[in-house]
Amino acid sequence: MKNQVPELSLKSYMDGNEGERRLFINQLFEGLKKYGFIVLKDHPIDTDLLRKSYALSEELFSLNTSQKESYSDGEQGGQRGYIPFGKEHAKDSPFPDLKEFWHVGRDLPEDHRLKDQFPNNIWPKEVEGFKDTFQAMFKALDDTGRIMLEALTYSLDVPKDYFQKMTEAGSSILRLLHYPPIPEGANPNSIRAAAHEDINLITLLVSAQGAGLELLTREGEWIPVETAPENIIVDSGDMLARITNDVIPATTHRVVNPKGENKSRYSMPFFMHPNPDATLECLASCQGSGAKYPPILANDFLMERLREIGLIK
């Protein structure tokens, strides 16, 4: 099929022979270079955990508005807890996205050197099992993301533990997303998620419940990204593009409004970030005729982008 995002088996990298591992490594690199997206099957995340996470996410967003807003943490730039409908917009877009979401972040021990940069998580008392389930989901996605980044080290000619060290205390975020039915009177210029690129290194998206995700190909064509519910969609973000000098570009994508029945869509992206004190600088293997971007601290880059999308001032 024309412009089909490649589907890769993580098992072939984790348990395969040398030839299978090499094929995965090459296909991952080429897939991200061409599309900025790949689909991952045969990953280690338990399907029961996936199903339970989506069930609890639906339960969370069925709470009334005042209950949800009681868990809003606006002072932290929406890094934890509830972010209301219409709060976020795409970079360079004045129109709000038609979504609400909840953020779960990393829990660091009290004596960790970066603890003061990590807000405490917020847990809704009305949803039984929420904390345990999403702590488990965060860890599972974090572990899987590290495997994916390790597989990229071969193509990028960096040490095998390069990304392990960079993301050991990464500011990663698990976002529980709810796109409600399009309300009457919604701004006609708004869609569920306007065209944007992700901020982080890579994003792992547990296949959403409901269609709508589209990517913009290098040829300027919007194509849908769909796969089986238990698979993971992986895409490259601005931070990875920055350190690879755009060898792996960040791909523009969006979530369009429903074309058929006007119903809710649920999604669960895991945004994998470096440690806040990590330096984003061009890798030697990607410099070509020169680095396009100066070095910058990961946290400085993140704060700059959060301001651009309306989460902090």
**313 part of a folded domain:** no
Q: How confident is the model at residue 255 (pLDDT cuts 50, 70, 90)?
A: confident
Who contacts 12 (Cβ-Cβ below 8 Å, separation ≥6)?
20, 21, 23, 24, 42
Q: For the residues of 198-227, what is the DSSP string, one character each?
A: -SSSEEEEEEEESS-EEEE-TTS-EEE---
276-306 pLDDT, tens digit each? 999 999 999 999 999 999 999 999 999 898 8
> What are 93's two structure tokens?
């877009």
Residues 6+ positions from 122 with CB-CB distance below 8 Å: 71, 73, 80, 81, 82
Token digits of residue 226: 């769909």
What pTM does this model have? 0.92
pLDDT, mean over the chain: 91
The pair of three-digit structure tokens given for residue 297, joined into one six-digit string? 């601290």
Here the CATH number for the domain that contains residue 269 is: 2.60.120.330
Q: Is residue 111 part of a domain?
A: yes
Say what the pLDDT of residue 207 is. Answer: 66
In a domain, 124, yes or no: yes
pLDDT > 70? residue 74: no
**How many domains does the chain divide into?**
1
- For residues 311 and 306, the model is more confident at 306
Contact 10, 147 (CB under 8 A): yes
Q: Is the pLDDT of residue 250 over 70?
A: yes
Q: Does residue 78 have a pLDDT over 80?
A: no
Does 1 map to a domain? no
* pLDDT tens column, 82-141: 998 877 777 777 788 888 999 999 999 999 999 998 999 999 999 999 999 999 999 999
Q: Of residues 190 and 166, which shows the higher confidence score?
A: 166
Residue 260 within any structural domain of the chain: yes
* C-alpha distance from residue 148 to each of 4, 14, 158, 204 (Å): 20, 10, 14, 10
Q: Which amino acid is at 69?
A: E
Angstrom distance (rounded) from CA 163 to CA 252: 23
pLDDT band with cut points at 50, 70 and 90 for residue 77: low
77 lies in some domain = yes
In a domain, 2, yes or no: no
Q: Which residues span the domain enclosing 147?
A: 7-183+192-308
User: What is the rounded CA–CA span in Å between residue 158 and residue 162?
Assistant: 6
CA distances from 307 to 233, 303, 304, 313 (A): 26, 6, 5, 6
Rg (the chain; Cα; Å)? 19
Helical pair 130-156 and 18-34, crossing angle rounded to 10 deg? 100
- Alpha-carbon distance of 200 to 191, in angstroms, equals 22
Q: What is the pLDDT of residues 94-104, one digit of tens each?
A: 788 888 999 99
Whole-number Å distance between alpha carbons of 198 and 131: 26
Q: What does the pLDDT look like over 175-214, one tens digit per residue?
A: 999 998 887 878 778 888 888 899 999 999 986 666 788 9
Q: Please indicate, yes or no, if residue 263 is contained in any of the structural domains.
A: yes
Predicted pLDDT at 196: 87
